[in-house]
Amino acid sequence: MEELVKFIQSNPDSREIKRALAVQMVLKGYLYRQIAEILSVSDSFIAQMMASI
């Protein structure tokens, strides 16, 4: 989790930040639909991020 926080703080690319936030939120227990609404992304975007870790 600490690595994600450092990455989010150091990366200016909004797409990368959304990816990192999505992973962080899943790890904190948020539902995909909640994350999708908060970050304005699709459920498949979140699933893809989780499949890549």
Listed by start position, the domains of the chain span 2-51
pTM of model > 0.75: no
Q: How far apart are CA 32 and CA 44, in angstroms?
A: 9
**Predicted local confidence at residue 38, as pLDDT:** 92
Per-residue pLDDT of the chain (53 residues; tens, 9 = 90+): 688 778 777 877 778 888 888 999 999 999 999 999 998 899 999 998 889 87
Helix (H) or strand (E) holding 18: helix 14-27
